[in-house]
Amino acid sequence: MTPNQIETVKDSFQRVAPVASSLSLTFYAELFRIAPSVRPYFPSEMHSQRVKLVDTLSAVVLNLHQLHALNDTIAGLAKRHVEYGARPEHFAPVGHALIYALKQTTPNGLTPVETEAWVAAYGEITDMMVDTMVNSAA
């Protein structure tokens, strides 16, 4: 990610934060629509899961400029996801659902530049998580 992309994600997240509840509802609705096979990995009552999503997203956005500081947190998140049954191929629909939810719920939507920055951020985190998942399985 470029420094401009980091700032773009941070700036756009300020517009998202007030509608975080709507973002998380939209995210999971889209994820379960496009990847219904992942639904069993989640609890039937989703409130706490939606809160975790927003909290994790907030922490990542806050620290995008120093992702190395999140290495342990991201590695722990990846290892927990492996325990839940997540596989690297699940990241594509999750990424789609995240970008979809951001576009739908961010006031005034996302610009193409903002979308590209979010895709880059998601790609960085995904790469870190998949590396951990693959290395912990080896």
User: How many CA atoms does the CB half-sphere of 119 hold within 13 Å?
Assistant: 12
Note the CATH architecture for domain 3-137: Orthogonal Bundle (1.10)
Distance CA 79, CA 137 (A): 10
* Amino acid, single-letter form, for residue 48: S
Residues of the chain with pLDDT > 90, as a percent, come to 65
Return the domain boundaries, the chain. 3-137
Distance CA 135, CA 120 (A): 22
> What pLDDT score does 137 carry?
64
**pLDDT tens across 56-84, in order?**
899 889 989 888 877 888 888 888 877 88
